[in-house]
Amino acid sequence: MKHQENTQDEEATFFSVTEPFHGLELEEFLSLKILGYSKFYLRSLLHSGKVSIDDKEIRGGTVSVGTEIQVLFPAKKPETYFPSPLDFEVLYEDSNLIVLEKPSGVPSVAEQFRSATNLMNGLLHYFGVRQSDSPNELPIRPRMIHRLDKDTSGVMVVAKTRLAEKELSIQFRDRSVTKKYYAWVIGDMILDEDVIDKKLVPHPTREKMITTDRARGKPSQTQIKVVRRYRGYTLVEATPLTGRTHQIRVHLSSYGHPLIVDPLYGGKEAIYLSEIKPRYRPKKGKEEPPVVSRLTLHSHSLTIKCPETGEPIHRESSIPKDQVRLEGYLEKHRAVRRPHGG
């Protein structure tokens, strides 16, 4: 077999097509064989002629059992993902998808400064361990359909197959997915229910921020409903009707009720018991620990349709300990007491 010549700045790697992979599209084959790289990067290798069979560049088609495929990688491979243990709770799983609780503080995908701790790495480890005794099965590549902010906890769905990736993407595009969030916000919300309808656009001067813009923004709607009222604070159920970056956070801030903890959009850096409990002060000489020091936002529930049967799949995520603690302090020290019979 002839092999495409590689330069000093490139390394050739060969992948044999075995029976489980027979008939797959080339891009899908590579994405399952080379789990450490983004699909965008693998697609760029295809389009730049770095994939070949018998010295002949290939950019598509299906693969056949017994074929050996050569891929030319840069000498310094920009590996994005690698299996790394992560503790998360599985709420539902079948052959097509997994519904899980993403912990707070864990990004959904690799950040600019790569570290082992992200959900993609955790899923690669989880699926790899589960499949270690099944060498004849196709490997599972986690396929992100949506994301949660790093400091947002709660339920999310990840596709395991190309079919599920396609079908779930359509559901998100067509807004047939129902996502509900709990948001603890600053202030006494006046209306019990409302829809925030404000167009969103990246901030013109502040990187990674989103802002409202009636002229240039993309249509964005969030339905809000008061769950519980406290003096000076409100627990809201937020249902995004569109899926824009930071949508709930920006909408609530523009509505005059930012998340209690969200310094990017008008909230605090952290919330302390001394801000909730009247006349409470920490012991002299001791630093007061925060009740919550990350976004007071939790992805509470998710409803999707099974990609194969169309049957609804509904799962709920329990409120994390720090937000349970916040809720307890608010209920104890800031509860709004209603008159008897009211």
Percent of the chain with pLDDT over 90: 56
Neighbours of 59 (CB within 10 A): 15
- Do 200 and 324 fall into the same domain? yes
Chosen domain end from 172, 200, 230: 172
Q: Report the range of poorest mean pLDDT among 26-35, 102-111, 181-190.
A: 26-35
Determine whether 149 is an active site residue.
yes
Taking residues 336-341, what's their average pLDDT? Answer: 60
Q: Residue 97: pLDDT above 50?
A: yes
Q: Provide mean pLDDT across the span 84-104.
A: 95
Chain-centroid distance, C-alpha 263: 20
* Whether 210 and 278 share a structural domain: yes
Rounded CA-CA distance 19/218 in Å is 46
Mean pLDDT to the nearest integer, 206-210: 88
Q: If pLDDT is split at 50, 70 and 90, which confidence band does 30 have?
A: confident
Catalytic residue among 149, 151, 188, 197: 149
Report how far residue 259's alpha carbon sits from residue 233's, in angstroms, rounded to the nearest whole number.
10
**Do 19 and 133 belong to one domain?**
no
pLDDT-derived band at 10, boundaries 50, 70, 90: confident
Give the pLDDT band of residue 252 (cuts 50, 70, 90): very high
Asked if residue 268 and residue 220 are part of one domain, the reply reads yes
With bands split at pLDDT 50, 70 and 90, how would you rate the model's confidence at 342?
very low
**Do 166 and 203 fall into the same domain?**
no
Domain boundary, last residue among 144, 172, 200:
172
Helix segments in 243-336, DSSP class H: 247-254, 321-333
* pLDDT score recorded for residue 341: 46
Domains contained in the chain, number: 3
Q: What residues contact residue 72 under an 8 Å CB cut-off, 6+ apart? A: 4, 6, 10, 11, 12, 45, 50, 51, 52
Both 164 and 196 in one domain: the answer is no
| DSSP states of 270-308 | -B-GGGTSTT--PPTT-PPPPSB-S-SEEEEEEEEE-TT
**Last residue within a domain, chosen from 48, 74, 100:** 74
- Residue 24 neighbours by CB distance under 10 Å: 19
Residue 154 lies in a domain: yes
CA nearest neighbour of 326 among 301, 293, 288: 293
Look at residue 58 and tell me if it is in a domain: yes
Q: Which H or E run contains 125?
A: helix 119-130
Residues 326, 180, single domain; the answer is: yes
On whether both 189 and 303 belong to a single domain, the answer is yes
C-alpha closest to that of 123 among 133, 131, 134: 131
Shared domain check, 69 and 217:
no
- pLDDT number for residue 61: 87
CATH code at position 221: 3.30.2350.10
State how far the Cα of 183 lies from the Cα of 196, in Å rounded to an integer: 14
Same-domain status, 215 and 328? yes
Return the pLDDT at 294.
Answer: 96
For residue 93, the number of C-alpha atoms closer than 13 Å in the C-beta half-sphere is 13
Give the pLDDT band (50/70/90) at residue 53.
confident
- 110 within some domain: yes
Q: What is the mean pLDDT of residues 233-251?
A: 96
In the predicted structure, residue 337 carries a pLDDT above the cut 80? no
**Looking at residue 323, what is its pLDDT?**
97
- H helix or E strand, kind and range, residue 99: strand 97-102
Residues 134, 155, single domain; the answer is: yes
- The structure tokens listed for 29 are 């084959």
Q: Is 20 inside any structural domain? A: yes
pLDDT over threshold 80, residue 77:
no
Same domain? For 68 and 110 the reply is no
- What's the CA dihedral at 111, 114, 120, 121 to 10 degrees? -160
Q: Give the largest CA-CA distance in the chain.
A: 87
Confirm whether 68 is domain-assigned.
Answer: yes
Closest CA to 146 of 290, 302, 292: 302
* Cα distance between residue 135 and residue 21, in whole Å: 12
Q: Is the pLDDT of residue 112 over 70?
A: no
For residue 313, is it within any domain? no
Q: Considering the domain boundaries, does residue 200 fall inside one?
A: yes
End-to-end CA separation in angstroms for the chain: 84
Residue with the larger pLDDT of the pair 340 and 338: 338
Q: Which residues form the domain of 234?
A: 175-307+320-333
Read off the pLDDT of each residue in 253-279 and give the average, rounded to a whole number. 96
Q: What is the overall mean pLDDT for the chain?
A: 88
Kindly state the average pLDDT of the residues 108-128: 81
pLDDT higher than threshold 60 for residue 340: no
